[in-house]
Chain A
Amino acid sequence: MSHIHFILFDFFVNFVFLRGIVYNQNMKILTKKRITVLVLLFFCFLIINSFFKDALKNFVYSKSEILMASLWNKGGEQAFSSKNQEELNKKLIEENQKLLSDLADFQRIKEENDFLRNSLELGLEKDFDLILGRVISKDILADSLLVNIGSNDGVKKGFPVIISGKVLLGKVVDVYPSYSRIILITQKDNLIDVEIPDSDIFALSKGEGNLNITLDMVARDKELKEGSLVVTSAMGGNYPAGLLMGKVKNIKKIDNETYQTSDIEKVFDLSMINNIFIIKIAEIYND
């Protein structure tokens, strides 16, 4: 019994001491020296942000580009190979069958379209003016990527970013001389005007962060179908129309809500993105 008392007493004594060590209670952590250093650093950072921000970031990126690019490639390859290949193959076969049936329809429509263009003497739409870039890294706090092309290559803030297959990836938010930072369509609160061509629905896509994206502001009376393709609309003015964003998934229609919502299954996989294209557009309206 006395042994237990001894243990309890020892525990109590240790409990009032900090981590078993007796510290002087007058010891100061927020000293004048530390506060002065922080204030001086604040003014230093103000000067850096005003005059050297882009140059400094560009310099640091250039020093770590090779290492980051090689790690990005290795990570992507490993992430892709570690996914369930069997499941992926099954999904691809199903999609291929659906695409083949769609292709037959599109060929017929293309012939009609060509005939109408010739009849009305309309030229084909001008292709995008693209700049090719390579992804180096991803921001850990946000859905944004760093790419190895910048203002020296003609990149400007607000330019849309796509990958092969006209799949929209995001837009340029920061431009440095040799590098640019792009935010993905999944970045939190990133709103994009979209349309669902097969149902003639216009809506908004909303980034939710962590590579998730939802479809919002779809009128209740419109019929939303699972698997419908979501493409960009020209209404917002920031993105060219017809860029692929994803497929409608998990439709949510709540009785007392004015609009229905759904998730968007994005069509790009981060592990397969190495090269991106930045579209040179003439005007950016909302940036």
Chain B
Amino acid sequence: MIKEIFKTLILIAIIYFLFIFEISYLSFFTFFSILFPLVLLINVLEEPQGRVGLYAAFFFGLILDIYSTHFIGLLALSFSISSLLLKFILFKYVRIPSLSWMPKI
């Protein structure tokens, strides 16, 4: 339990500092977000029952809400629900082949 709380706190800190970096320093160089694909990738790559992707989506949405003109919680909840739906779709309908059949070098 303590380990999980610790992991979540580290995740929040990473997302927060990456977000601050993105809205202040990177806004001169690119229009595209680096955090959005990162959160999406975590959700796609982790196993369906994992919670890291869900937490990442929630905190990324929450920080986006706070640092924009939206209502607080709008994107946080939207991203969380999207994360759950994505995991559900990936689990139920998507089959990704493993590469275990490839000859080992």
A: residues with CB less than 8 A from B are 7, 10-11, 14-21, 23, 27, 29-30, 34, 38, 41-42, 44-46, 48-49, 53, 56-57, 60, 64, 67-69, 71-72, 74-76, 78-79, 136-142, 144, 146, 173-174, 181, 210, 270-271
Contact = CB atoms under 8 A, between A and B. Distances in A.
B66 to A, nearest CB: 5
A139 B19 CA distance: 10
Nearest to A46: B73
Nearest to A16: B95
Nearest to B88: A29
A76 B71 contact: no
Interface of B: 20-29, 31, 33, 47-49, 64, 66-69, 71-74, 76-77, 80-81, 84, 87-88, 91, 94-98, 100-101
A20 B24 contact: no
Given A42-B77, A137-B23, A53 B98 contact: no
Contacts of A139: 23, 67-69
A30 B48 contact: no
Contact of B24 (A38, A72, A210): A72
A29 B67 contact: no
A160 to B, nearest CB: 17
Nearest to B80: A38
Nearest 9 A/B pairs, CB to CB: A45-B73, A20-B98, A79-B28, A10-B101, A71-B24, A75-B25, A138-B27, A71-B25, A137-B23
A56 B66 contact: yes
A15 B87 CA distance: 18
A181 B65 CA distance: 13
A181 B29 CA distance: 21
Contacts of A56: 66, 72
A57 B73 CA distance: 12
A75 B28 contact: yes
Nearest to A37: B80
Nearest to A82: B29
Contacts of B67: 60, 137, 139, 146
